[in-house]
Amino acid sequence: MLAERVVSTICPFCGVGCTLELHVAGNQILKATSPYNSVVNHGNLCVKGRFGWDFIYNRKRVTEPLVRASARRGERATTTVAPADDPWEPVTWDEALDLVAARFVETYRLHGPDALAAFLCAKATNEDNYLAQKMFRALFRTNNIDHCTRLCHASSVVALQMAIGSSAMSNTASECIKSDVFIVTGSNTAESHPIIALQMKEAVRKHGAKLIVADPRRVEMVDFAEIWLAQRPGTDVPLFSAMAHVIVKEKLYNEDFIAARTEGFEAYVKTLESFTPAFAELLCGVPADDIIRAARLYANAKNGAIYWALGIPEHTHGTDNALALVHLALLTGHIGREGTGLNPLRGQNNVQGASDAGAMPWHFPGYQEVDKPDVVAKFAAKWGSAPEPKRGLTTTEIVAAAGDGRVKAMFIMGENPLMSEPNLHHAAECFRKLEFLVVQDLFINETGEFAHVFLPSASALEKEGTFTNTDRRVQRVREVLKPVGQARADWEIICDLAARIERKLGVTRTAYWGFESPSEALQEMGELVPAYAGITYDRLEGDGLQWPVPTRDHAGTAFLFAESFPRGRGKFHALVYHTSAEMPDADYPLYLTTGRVLYQWHGGTMTRHSHIDDAAPEPFVEINPADAAHLRIEDGDMVRVTSRRGAIELCARVTMKAVKGVVFIPFHYAEAAANDLTNDALDPRALIPEYKVSAVRVETTSAEAADMPMRSKDLTGF
């Protein structure tokens, strides 16, 4: 079949933001390609972008609004009702949205603004998120709005705000070919950001860059590394502080940069005394000589860069981990130039944009703080109303508040907290207490099962809008196909719902919901967010624009901080080492860490409904051969992994990718959900859960081995 048209849009999976050209005949996408001159991915696509979009055709897509029978009858049942006793009934959009508006307004009137909460969506567009947070803030006057950024880079954001006043990637990912040394830490880049990994490999192989990988797993990028620092999980602060110690002791720091651009250096240096390489070796398990070599390599680089992903922030001391990395850049002056910088790789396709658009409880759009009265006044003037100047609840706090009855009604747009929250058994108990839950998504996933109303939304290939990728590039998302059935774009549903809520509230406000296209919503956001002020849809044709774009004639910004930091001077912070909230012990002797695999994406709502699921269809646990031998586990055996919060059964992969004492489980599989095991202890500043360190034991479930004496308790982590 020949294509009738080719539509250019952006890949809906990860934050790299690759350009997709979809070749379409009738209602059928024939194939995906990418142009060789695409600025982000140079014609390359990973397997998800090339083949993974076929989830849009899956027969399990919900194509009409659904309401539980009990909710239609006007009953006030919580989700403790078993779905089998309370079936879905298809309804019209009018009935569904009127019901949602009535129940939300009823909750607001009876219990006040903070009885409502919303999970917004890092997969939805900037416009979807801008309008959804505006609906909750302007109409219900609550800041109980968050999304999965809380569960990935929240502590990177807090650390970067504390140290320099800006939390996005400072540079463009493809600039790594301009670095002569770069550090990759807490990132399985080859599987999580595959196209950026290609550019990193090119930097090493073609341009002679030296790569330092710091990671407790033997991830693929180790094959390209000059030095691999295999730190124990949770020991990033001593590792990177020991590198800083070496840089200071050997006077490898950039005196001019420190004098001109930073503050707090002298006090910080005193706190480094104890972080000797020998001390770090004891804590981290990394040879002191390797720490010294890595410090010298990075400090002596002409252009040094740091890239990190979730292995850094997802700890109870994630903010400290990220600060330890920031210190390396401030010491050496490896920031503010091409090929340098502090680069937290963002996971979801639009987690940067959802954060920019204000889908967070502490910030309005543009990171403007919700607890500052003058900022509140600015947004109230534009929208007609705004919340009291106080922070809202984060995702994990919202779940807890549902559990104790403070939050009674919830709206979830495109997220799946009953896969992504830690300690899932507890999270499910909390969701069962909700009086009213609305889920807006493509499929009824684990969270959708708990909903009273399900609103079918259009996929990213069925609507217009913009995504902002990991290096701040705002790009156009285009409607490739019409939405299936009665599904509608998220922004359209929100505007329709908000207008109904406003009528039911009976108030006259200036908030505007009559948008005819998402471009108008982006324009309104640009009037409130200076970094987006110069962005219009017509200016995004081609390669998009990297914010900040302060004016209509500004060309965008490839790298930040050439002259100064948003907070003025970069600030050093004293750090101390804290152990993780839960350490291996006699009962749970192994570290568990979690992450992604190439063929799957997060909670699996998209990839598990795609044919690429066949390439990685089963959950597994990676275990080091020495640990496996000790536990009499063979490759392919079924095993039970148990933590203090739950147990799952899955297949063992005996592999050197896992270092001794550490097992790894991908978090995509509902049938053996890694988050049944993870710990909901939080970083005190960012309130991000400690996904990357839990203590577990692993036991074979094979009958023959189960008869043997249990040896799991003999293990001690390392």
Based on CB atoms, which residue is closest to ligand SF4, 176 or 284? 176
Stretch that binds ligand SF4, among 43-51, 202-210, 373-381, 490-498 (CB under 6 A): 43-51
| Shortest distance in whole angstroms from residue 197 CB to ligand SF4 | 9
Q: Which of 8, 17, 79, 320 binds ligand SF4 (CB under 6 A)?
A: 17
Q: Dig out the tokens for 625 from the structure.
A: 């051969």
Residue closer to ligand SF4 by CB (options 41, 642) is 41
The set of residues, in sequence order, having a beta carbon less than 8 Å from that of 671 and lying 6+ positions away, is 619
Q: 62 by DSSP, 3-state: which?
A: coil
Q: Token pair of 45, please? A: 């696509």
Residue 200 binds ligand SF4 (CB under 6 A): no
One residue of 65, 113, 186, 194 binding ligand SF4 per CB under 6 A: 194
User: Hey, what are 205's tokens?
Assistant: 């192989």
Stretch of 44-52, 120-128, 200-208, 702-710 contacting ligand SF4, by CB under 6 A: 44-52
Element (H, E) at 366: none
> 3-class SS at 111?
helix
Per the CB < 8 A criterion, the answer to whether 545 and 539 are in contact is yes
Shortest-Cβ-distance residue relative to ligand SF4: 49
Contact region with ligand SF4 (CB under 6 A), list: 7-15, 511-519, 578-586, 669-677: 7-15
Sorted by sequence, the CB contacts under 8 Å of residue 358 that are 6+ apart come out as: 129, 130, 133, 134, 137, 145, 364, 365, 366
Q: In Å, how far are 41, 72, 214, 225, 575 from 230, measured between CA atoms?
A: 30, 56, 6, 12, 21
CA 520 to mean position of chain CA atoms: 27
Residue 65 corresponds to which tokens in the numbers above?
């609004």
Tell whether residue 13 is a contact of ligand SF4 (CB under 6 A): yes
Amino acid at 675: N
If one asks whether residue 14 binds ligand SF4 (CB under 6 A), the answer comes out as: yes
What are residue 24's DSSP bridge partners? 5, 29
Q: Residue 606, interface with ligand SF4 (CB under 6 A)?
A: no
Query: C-beta of 14: minimal distance to ligand SF4 in Å?
Result: 3
- Closer residue to ligand SF4 in complex, CB, 594/610: 610
CA distance 131 to 497: 11
**Range in contact with ligand SF4 (rule: CB under 6 A) among 6-14, 223-231, 389-397, 502-510:** 6-14
Measured between its terminal Cα atoms, the distance across the chain in Å is 57
Residue 480 interacting with ligand SF4 (CB under 6 A):
no
Burial string for 681-704 (b: 16+ CB within 10 Å, else e) reads bbbeebbbbbbbbbbbbbbbeeee
Stretch that binds ligand SF4, among 45-53, 444-452, 583-591, 636-644 (CB under 6 A): 45-53
Residue 572 within binding range of ligand SF4, rule CB under 6 A: no
Is 18 among the residues that bind ligand SF4 (CB under 6 A)? yes
What's the burial of 564, exposed, middle or buried (CB within 10 Å: 0-12/13-18/19+)? middle
Asked if 599 is part of the footprint of ligand SF4 (rule: CB under 6 A), the reply reads no
Number of residues that bind ligand SF4 (CB under 6 A): 13
Binding segment for ligand SF4 (CB under 6 A), chosen from 8-16, 172-180, 229-237, 483-491, is: 8-16
Answer for which of 49, 238, 304, 548 binds ligand SF4 (CB under 6 A) is 49
Tell me if 195 contacts ligand SF4 by CB under 6 A.
yes
Measure the CA dihedral 640/643/647/650, to 10°: -40
What letter does residue 565 receive in the DSSP assignment? B
Least distance in angstroms from the C-beta of 114 to ligand SF4: 37
**Which residue's CB is nearer to ligand SF4, number 193 or number 337?**
193
Q: Is the CB of 45 or the CB of 138 nearer to ligand SF4?
A: 45
- Considering only the stretches 13-21, 407-415, 476-484, 534-542, report the one whose residues sit in contact with ligand SF4 under the rule CB under 6 A: 13-21
Positions 23 through 42 that interact with ligand SF4 (CB under 6 A)? 41
DSSP state of 488: B
By CB under 6 A, name the one of 8, 9, 38, 48 that touches ligand SF4. 48
Closest approach, Cβ 52 to ligand SF4, in A, equals 7
**Sheet containing 145-146: order of strands:** 88-90, 66-68, 453-456, 436-441, 409-413, 116-119, 145-146
- Which pair of tokens denotes residue 641? 């992994």
Between 10 and 495, whose beta carbon lies closer to ligand SF4?
10
Cβ-based neighbour number of residue 78 at 10 Å: 16
Among 22, 29, 45, 135, binds ligand SF4 (CB under 6 A): 45
Q: Which of 46, 173, 200, 227 binds ligand SF4 (CB under 6 A)?
A: 46
Token couple for 40? 């982000």
Q: Which residues bind ligand SF4 (CB under 6 A)?
A: 11, 13-14, 16-18, 41, 45-46, 48-49, 194-195
